[in-house]
Structure 1
Amino acid sequence: MKRTSLVVLFFAILIGLWEWAFHAKIWSPVLVPAPEQVAEYLKTTATDGTLLRATAITMRRLLIGYVIGLIGGLPLGLLTARWKVFHDTIGTLALGLQTLPSVCWVPLALLWFGQTEAAMLFVVVMGTLWSVVIATDTGVRHVPPIYPRAALTMGSKRLHIWLKVILPAALPFIVSGMKQGWAFAWRSLMAAEIFVTILTGFGLGQLLHYGRELSAMEQVIGVMLVIIIIGLLADKILFSPVERFLHRRWGTNP
């Protein structure tokens, strides 16, 4: 309860400072709208369905691209961990491409796929894939060698060792990579939606873009807040419970 009160107080102070800055006219009201203007925008677009539709479209794109990235990244990570030739080739490629800013994939996606859903999904997959590959490779390589040796001594077959010993022991690293991949996918999709204009539905990135085009800062800030809230909810609902379970399972709680 004390922790919750502290968080509420912190954000109340931030909103208070924001309100003060607006009334003090430190910046132009066109550039920094009042908190109540942003709240009114969110209320209006939530009521008429605009915000909910955009959020649903964005989440659908994100989930599809993220799942494709996981399906490709996990086996590639296992390959790079298992065989040195793949580690030296695919692993090096993954390390290099992970450092590439997500927005760099957008021009390539537009040239290859045009103004289509495939262009957006490509950018999301590229944002997810390489983090998962690297995390899976790192996780498997950090499994203590005594674990598979002990299982082999007790009669386990190699497939059983991989499924029941190595992968569970590597899970903390893999989940961290999945979490990082989710964050990169989220950023990648926002970049793609801002630059790719298609007729299959406007997502949050497009709302952000059109808010900038119309100089509607209450729309820009409102959409940014929605993006932040979705990111926080994903962490709290999806990843934090899994991480807590793995910490308890492996006795690594602080």
Structure 2
Amino acid sequence: MSLSLEPPIRQEYEYTPAAATLRIAPGPAPLVRRLRQQTWLRKTLILAALAVLWEAIARWQHNDLLLPSFLQTASAFFDGIASGELLDRIRTSLAVLVQGYAAGVLAAFVLTALAASTRVGRDLLETLTSMFNPLPAIALLPLALLWFGLGKGSLIFVIVHAVLWPLALGAYAGFQSVPETLRMAGRNYGLSGLRLVLHILVPAALPSILSGLKIGWAFAWRTLIAAELVFGTTSGQGGLGWYIFQNRNELYTDKVFAGLAAVILIGLLIENAVFRPLERITVLRWGMQR
């Protein structure tokens, strides 16, 4: 008895495919597709929609004292720019903000580097952040007035407090998330202490550090405006918060909204002209963030 090793032959069938009935819709034109991919255009459209909504609500409410229209606010804003008054207030506020923010960033870096290098520094950071991070910066303003008087020093003090703790927490959390293999690689190259922090931990934790910088900037900006609203002038010159408060007392609501618009526009400018390019040339370019 012999076994056949030939594979079985299957019967062949011929199928006629049915006529295609689905039509693929043509895709959008290349120009439209490119415009959809422009982030600045999408954000501009959002701002334009909000402006139209603001104008419609103001016209429907019809009370300039409570809610001036977008066109009235824009007119007051450009009048303040043309006269130089609003520019002087913005310049005064930004000068104080830069000094306080830089001091807060430096203090946060020193504290975080100490925490990443030593156990005592880690305990110090955890203790101080637990104590002072929940404390609102504006609550320290009376104490700042006693220590530094009615001037720039008090504003810088509360700004440093607003920046220091969120940035230190963000940077320290980023350091804690650095893989142990990177730390071991740094130690194999002879890095330790501050050199390990600068060459290994800071680049690896950069997404968390940038987030902390952005949060610290927002806290510093709102703290400065709130502090100026409370006690107004700094060294004889009022900032943007004092501009808003003064016009509120004089019932110039359009100027109040113009001052608020200046706060918003400065926030948008810093975000898109400073932080976004910084993210683009670092974490986005290195593939650390989507």
Task: Tell me, yes or no, whether TM beats 0.5.
Answer: yes
Shift of 1:60: 0.4
Q: List 4+ stretches of structure 1 deviating above 4 A.
A: none
Q: Partners of 1:10 and 1:148 in 2: how far apart?
A: 44
Shift of the alpha carbon at 1:65? 0.5
Number of matched pairs? 252
How far apart, in 2, do the equivalents of 1:241 and 1:178 lie?
14
The corresponding residue for 2:67 is 32
**Partner Cα distance (2:208, 2:106) in 1:** 16
The equivalent residue for 1:205 is 241
Structure (1 or 2) with the greater helix fraction: 1
Q: 2:277 aligns with which of 225, 241, 248?
A: 241
After superposition, the CA RMSD in angstroms is 1.9
Shift of 1:173: 1.6
1:18 aligns with 2:57: no
Q: Higher mean Cα deviation, 120-129 or 16-25?
A: 16-25
Q: Conserved in 2, the CA contact under 8 Å of 1:120 and 1:196?
A: no
Bigger radius of gyration among the two: 2
Distance 1:204 1:82 in 2: 41
In the alignment, what sits opposite 2:172? 137
Q: Could you tell me how far 1:171 is from its partner in structure 2?
A: 2.0
**Cα deviations by residue, 1:201-228 (Å, 9 ceiling, x for unpaired):** 1110100111221122111111111101
Q: Is the 8 Å Cα contact of residues 206 and 283 (structure 2) preserved in structure 1?
A: no
CA contact (8 A) 1:135 1:177 kept: yes
Normalised by the length of structure 1, the TM-score is: 0.90
Sort the Cα spacing of 1:137 and 1:13 in 2 relative to 1 into closer, same or farther, 3 A.
closer
Unaligned runs of 5+ in 2: 1-34
- Which residue does 1:157 correspond to in 2? 191
SS state of the match for residue 247, structure 1? coil
The percent of aligned pairs where both chains have the same amino acid is 32
Aligned partner of 1:229 among 259, 265, 275:
265
2: CA distance, partners of 1:139 / 1:82 = 14
Matched, 1:66 2:94: no
Q: 1:181 aligns with which of 203, 216, 227?
A: 216
What is the TM-score normalised by the length of structure 2?
0.80
- Counterpart contact for 1:73–1:130, Cα < 8 Å: yes
